[in-house]
Structure 1
Amino acid sequence: MARIAFTPNLRRHLDCPAVEGAAATVREALDLAFAANPRLRGYLLDEHGRLRKHVTIFVNDAAVADRSALSDPLAPDDEVFVFQALSGG
């Protein structure tokens, strides 16, 4: 089963523990997490369902390629990591 995990910084602001489940794409993995906490959707996705600019998702050690549909495929043993991107000057 794929596992989706969130950084401690995100967990500090939202209740989003790691989730495991059957998911064929990054979108399906996120939907598992959104089912547990619907507020998380608005924090990670914009009004069009695309990944917000301040959020980065990795599957294992590679950044997702499809930030719009989140259609990157997942293998059953993949780990999905959701980060809040940092910026500054």
Structure 2
Amino acid sequence: MATVHFTSHLQAFVNSEPVVVAAKDVAMALENAFEGREQLRSYVMDEHGRLRRHIMLFVDGKMVEDRVNLTDPVTEASEVYVMQALSGG
């Protein structure tokens, strides 16, 4: 089963410990990871169910290509990382 990790920065705002999920794609992995964690869902996804612009997703070290439908494949051994993009100067 895939593991969805949330960066420590996100953990400072919401309960976001790593979650082991059954999934075939990123959308399903996130949906399962958000189960019972509505505050985390609202931090990562917008009111239309889309990934927020400031959130970056990586599967097995590669940035996801489909940020709209989240169809990038996930295997049982996949590591999915959800992080907030930071900027500043």
TM-score grouping bracket, smaller chain normalisation: over 0.9
Segments of 4+ moved more than 6 angstroms: none
Q: Deviations over 1:13-68 (max 9, x none)?
A: 10011000211111111111210311111111112211111100000110011111
Quick one: distance in 2 between partners of 1:36 and 1:15?
Answer: 10
- 1:49-60 superposed matches below 5 A: 49-60=49-60
Quick one: distance in 2 between partners of 1:32 and 1:19?
Answer: 9
Unaligned 5+ segments in structure 1 are none
Deviates more, 1:43-52 or 1:55-64: 43-52
Quick one: distance in 2 between partners of 1:48 and 1:37?
Answer: 17
RMSD: 1.0
The one-letter code of the counterpart of 1:64 is V
Could you state the TM-score of these two structures normalised by the residue count of structure 1?
A: 0.94
Unaligned 5+ segments in structure 2 are none
